[in-house]
Amino acid sequence: MQQLTPTHKLAVCLAAGVAVRLACFAIWPESLQRRPELTSPLTSFRSLQEGVFLFGKGDNPYTGGVFYYSPIYLAIFSHLQASPLLWVIADLMGALALSRIDTTRCSDDKGYKAAALYLFNPYILLSCLARSTAGLENAVLLWAICGRTTNDLLLSGTCLAFVSHTSIYPILLLPPLLKGLSSRQRAILAGAFAVVFGTIAAGNTLVFGSSWIRPTWGTILTVSDLTPNVGMWWYFFTEMFDHFRQFFLGVFQLHTAIYVLPVCLRIEDPLHATLILLGVISTWKSYPTLADLGVWAGLLGCFPEITANLRHPLFTLATYLHTFILLPLLHSLWLLTGTGNANFFYAATMVHGLNSALAVVDVVTAVMRFRLKKVVQWKDTYKAVQITAIE
């Protein structure tokens, strides 16, 4: 039998990923749509449908505390049938972006492993089944990173502007993506970002006035919807004393942004910096879902040099498996059967969040260790000569 070429392997991976998704959609069409682990109020398909329905009726969808989406989503889904196929295609595009990043960075790898890691990551697969819009945003985000890798800076800036507009936090990835470019290239990427971001914001304002800003960006920044999710914010701000609320909002938001500068200064490779900051965002954003971690894990798959230097990958994976079981269990104990209280689910999100935090730190140290090893390797040849001289 003829050996499969890497392109064929990639095609097989993608086809298998699509087939699994279509089969799952056929068997469980709607069962996961309301899982709090997979959808937040900002990414839930149910909210999106409700907003589109109200918009179609002629009501303002931004009243009522149901719809926090960017008006772009209204524009798209008022005309486009929200079929499951869209989410399958988004995952496919994400996998393609990852395989391109992988092949561009490491010439010896043909990209199918990164695509397979993304497509068969349970977090990504389940988010796709839940039709969380995080899946769509992740695909766009991956194309922003892919554009930077392949030096397609216009694509990178456009995609980053789009995804920053819908969920704000990716704006923190702009500095690492600009890192290591010539001033002309920087102008192209930043210009594309600014033009697209400004155009979308201006278009929204033209249609809705300023009424869309408070429910979309305002909700992300002030955490006014406290629906339970896997993040560290919702219970903290449910229990927060009123007079400290503003202070801690500032602390939590600044804490997420504070890593941008030191990471960009300390980590030489812009893609390494992007990877680390993506990990920080997916752990500490105000409405995280498992899809955010999934996209981070997918990107990590493109960096075999880092995964080889991780200190406790098995511990991290085992803890994720642990929380994967714990989160739905304790959520149902609190809200469905009523036998537990809110602390149960909070404890599970704590374990999950702490594990993500440790994983991010592990990646940072792995990057450092990799750099060190590279220097050592470089010096080895020089030293061999030196040792011979001493003898």
Partner 1 sequence: MTRLIYLLGLLAPWVAASLSADEFHEALTLHPLPDGKLSVLFEFTTYFSGSTGHGRTPESHHSLTSPSLLLPLQQNNVSELSISFVSGQWDQHRSGQAGPLSYGSGGGGGETRGWLRNSKGASPGKVNENWVAVTNALGGLFCATLAPAKEGEVVKTFGDIYPPSRETKQNLTHFHVPHPEQLLCAENLTPFLALLPSKGVSGLSHLLAQPGVVLSWGFKAEGIEVIMPDPSTATGGLWKGWWEGVVDLVPVTGGSRASSIEKLFRRSIPRVFPEASSSVIRLITPEQDNFRMEPQAGSREEQWLDGRKREVMVWDLMDGGLVGQDLRFWWENEGDFGHPLKLESSPISISRRMAAPYASDGTFVIRITNNGDDQRDAVYSEVWPWWVKGWMSEVSAAVESGETEGSSSELLRHLAYHPSYPPHPSTTSLHFSLTLPAHATLILTIPYSKLTIKYTEHRPDAERGVELPSGVLTLLDLEGESDFPNSTVIQSRRSGRTHIYTTRLLLDLPTPDFSMPYNVIIMSCTVMAVFFGMMQGALSRQWGYVDTAMERLRGRGKVTEGARRGAEMGPEGEGDTEKIS
d(CA 194, CA 196): 6
When asked if residue 364 is in the footprint of partner 1 (CB under 8 A), the reply is yes
| 8 Å CB contact between 302 and 97 | no
Q: Binder to partner 1 among 383, 385, 388, 389 (CB under 8 A)?
A: 383
d(CA 51, CA 238): 25
| 8 Å CB contact between 163 and 144 | yes
When asked if residue 238 is in the footprint of partner 1 (CB under 8 A), the reply is yes
**Which of the ranges 7-15, 73-81, 182-190, 251-259 carries the binding residues for partner 1, by CB under 8 A?**
251-259
Closer of 60 and 104 to partner 1 (Cβ): 60
The DSSP string of 46-110 is HHHHHHHHHHHHTS-TTSSS-----HHHHHHHHHS---HHHHHHHHHHHHHHHHHHHHHH-TT--
Give me the least distance between CB of 138 and partner 1, in Å please: 23
Q: Binder to partner 1 among 65, 203, 209, 250 (CB under 8 A)?
A: 65
d(CA 113, CA 369): 24
Closer of 146 and 172 to partner 1 (Cβ): 172
Give me the least distance between CB of 131 and partner 1, in Å please: 14
Q: Binder to partner 1 among 64, 191, 203, 250 (CB under 8 A)?
A: 64
Give me the least distance between CB of 21 and partner 1, in Å please: 24
- By rule CB under 8 A, what count of residues binds partner 1? 66
Q: Binder to partner 1 among 242, 314, 377, 385 (CB under 8 A)?
A: 242
When asked if residue 306 is in the footprint of partner 1 (CB under 8 A), the reply is no
Burial class (CB in 10 A: 0-12, 13-18, 19+), 220: buried
| 8 Å CB contact between 132 and 103 | no
Q: Binder to partner 1 among 50, 109, 152, 305 (CB under 8 A)?
A: 50
| 8 Å CB contact between 148 and 302 | no
| 8 Å CB contact between 134 and 127 | yes
Q: Binder to partner 1 among 59, 83, 85, 325 (CB under 8 A)?
A: 59
When asked if residue 53 is in the footprint of partner 1 (CB under 8 A), the reply is yes
Give me the least distance between CB of 91 and partner 1, in Å please: 25
Amino acid at the residue 102: D
**Neighbour-count burial for 125-157, b at 16+ CB within 10 Å, e otherwise:** bbbbbbbbbbbbbbbbbbbbbbbbbbebbebbb
Binding to partner 1 in span 208-237, by CB under 8 A? 224-228, 232, 234-237
Q: Which residues contribute to the site for partner 1 (CB under 8 A)?
A: 34, 46, 49-50, 52-54, 57, 59, 63-66, 224-228, 232, 234-242, 248, 252, 255, 259, 262-263, 266, 280, 283-284, 334-336, 338, 341-343, 346, 350, 353-354, 357-358, 360-361, 364-365, 368-369, 371-372, 375-376, 379, 383, 387, 390-391
